């Protein structure tokens, strides 16, 4: 949980809030085929049908917050034939805007890892 203090009090942001904001913003970008698992536990959760829905929204998303600055890392697959550089640029712009608009925190960096191509 992330707590941000201002002159009116404190605001609490949870990790699931950031994960859903980032996942929904990323999936709305043209050329993104899927979010990919980034850890062995997430890969195992993909294989097991019982737990796959529990990890689905958080899959492939890492968020770090240090002193009001947000660092984001996401793992995705893109569609075959799209300009990967343009897709990554679009994702970075949309994520930066969405996170800063919703939370008023500064986005320090966004790392986009392309793990595969989907036809």
Secondary element (H or E) of residue 70: strand 69-79
Which residue in 97, 99, 113 sits closest to 2, CA to CA? 99
| Residues 32-76 pLDDT 10s | 998 887 766 666 666 666 555 555 667 789 998 887 799 999 999
Residue-wise over 53-62: b if at least 16 C-beta within 10 A, else e? eebeebbbbb
pLDDT of residue 46: 65
Band (6; pLDDT cuts 50, 70, 90): confident
Task: Check if the beta carbon of residue 86 is closer than 8 Å to that of residue 66.
Answer: no
Which residue in 95, 64, 68 sits closest to 3, CA to CA? 68
Domains of the chain plus CATH, in order, are 2-118 (3.30.70.1350)
Low-confidence winner among 22-26, 39-43, 109-113 (lowest mean pLDDT): 39-43
DSSP state of 58: T
Task: Report residue 39 as tokens.
Answer: 């850890």
φ/ψ of 22, rounded to 5, equals -70, -45
Q: How far is CA 22 from CA 5, 10, 14, 47, 80, in A?
A: 22, 22, 13, 23, 22
| Residues 89-102 pLDDT 10s | 999 999 999 999 99
Task: Check if the beta carbon of residue 79 is closer than 8 Å to that of residue 33.
Answer: yes
């Amino acid at each position: 949980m992330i707590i941000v203090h201002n002159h009116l009090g404190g605001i609490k942001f949870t990790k699931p809030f950031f994960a859903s904001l980032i996942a929904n913003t990323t999936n709305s970008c043209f050329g993104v085929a899927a979010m990919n698992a980034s850890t062995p536990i997430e890969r195992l959760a993909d294989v097991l049908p019982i737990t796959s829905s529990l990890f689905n929204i958080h899959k492939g998303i890492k968020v770090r917050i240090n002193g009001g600055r947000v660092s984001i890392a996401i793992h995705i697959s893109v569609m075959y034939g799209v300009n990967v550089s343009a897709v990554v640029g679009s994702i970075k712009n949309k994520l930066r805007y969405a996170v800063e608009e919703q939370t008023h925190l500064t986005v320090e960096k966004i790392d986009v890892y392309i793990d595969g191509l989907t036809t």
